[in-house]
Amino acid sequence: MHVIVEDFGAFIGKTSERLVIRSGKASTREIPLFDVEAVLVVGQGVTLSADAIRACMERGAPIDFIDGRGVPYAKIMSPQLQGAVQTRRAQLEAYRDDRAVSLSRAFVYGKLRQQANLLKYWAKHRQREQSLYERLRARAAEVDDYAARVVEVPGENIDEVRSAIMAVEASGAKVYWDGVKEVLPEDLMFPGRRHQEAEDPLNRLLNYGYGILQSHAARCLLLAGLDLHAGYLHADRSGRPSLVLDFMEEFRVPVVDRTVFSMVNKGYRPDVQEDGTFTLEDRRRLAGEIMERLASKDRYAGKKFSLGTIMQEQARHVATFVRGERPYEPFVWSW
């Protein structure tokens, strides 16, 4: 269970074998510690007891902090989650050979296939609107073509081919976001994809959702014994969790995009405050929808698993790939 704390001035403590969250005199939540997989702190003025921190660390449950825009700014995690020396050594060594290139191509291939599949999903439900149906199918085919191209990008050194891989990704993304514009309500006035400095409500929803996804992706990679900062596709930068950003690429569409687009197409409109953040109610609603999506099931390895479980398995597959034990196959959701 991912525990999300959003209330201003909340206190996170421990009583017996339960995590206790107090938000005012009359509001208290108690969660059995054996159910706690991670804690995400969003609210301002939140305090934590040393006992609560220790209990979470002993159970391998990291505590993440993100601001009101969804930008992660701190993480508390157990040093025991950083003890997989063999895996981390292999992860660093992989940067010097074609494993880094193969993994980067796979992450982008997965992302592009997800984007194409969401366009196909929308087209399937708009067959009565012939013109829109045909445009969405054409865009999906174009994005699929970029996915096929990215796996053909030649090279064995990631520093030499990174720009080529990201150029293909950017071209496919432009087609995808142009398709997104066609299915969104006009009142949203979606300007296209913008990142952290976005001012429109939809981009802010996406950024906030990606912040939640980033927290979950980081936990999956930690449990797989990987170093969050030693990535391949996203270049090294001080403090940047490059591998987390790499890994979450193939999950942005099925976990966040699909959730946010479904919400706004059903009439949901968030209340953006003067400082650019969402109200407490909006943060709770989006976080709840994202958690519900992570708990939903999809087909994987011939069976049905929750998306959260699939993410964990994919993180383990990253670890086995860098150790040279098996190839890495990106996850593509069934539309």
> Angle 252-325-247 (CA atoms, 0-180°, nearest 5)?
15
> What contacts 24+ positions apart, CB below 8 Å, involve 242-248?
243/91, 243/318, 244/214, 244/217, 244/218, 245/214, 246/103, 246/104, 246/107, 247/107, 247/217, 247/220, 247/221, 247/314, 247/315, 247/318, 248/210, 248/213, 248/214, 248/217
Q: Round to whole Å and give the CA distance between 164 and 187.
A: 36
| Phi-psi region at 122: left, alpha or beta (left = phi > 0; alpha = psi -120 to 50) | alpha
Q: What's the distance, Cα to Cα, between the start and end of the chain in Å? A: 26
Backbone angles phi, psi at 25, to 5 degrees: -65, -35
Strand partners, 47: 11
294 contacts: CB under 8 Å, gap ≥ 6: 2, 216, 255, 306, 307, 308, 311
Q: Does residue 229 have a known ligand-binding role?
A: no
Q: Does residue 169 have a known ligand-binding role?
A: yes
CA dihedral over 131, 114, 249, 102, signed as positive or negative:
negative
Give the helix/strand (H/E) hosting 118: helix 98-124
Given a contact cutoff of 8 angstroms between Cβ atoms, the answer to whether 199 and 268 are in contact is: no
Q: Does residue 234 have a known ligand-binding role?
A: yes
Give the helix/strand (H/E) hosting 14: strand 11-15
Residue positions forming the annotated binding site for Mn(2+): 169, 234, 249
Sequence ranges of the binding site: 169, 234, 249
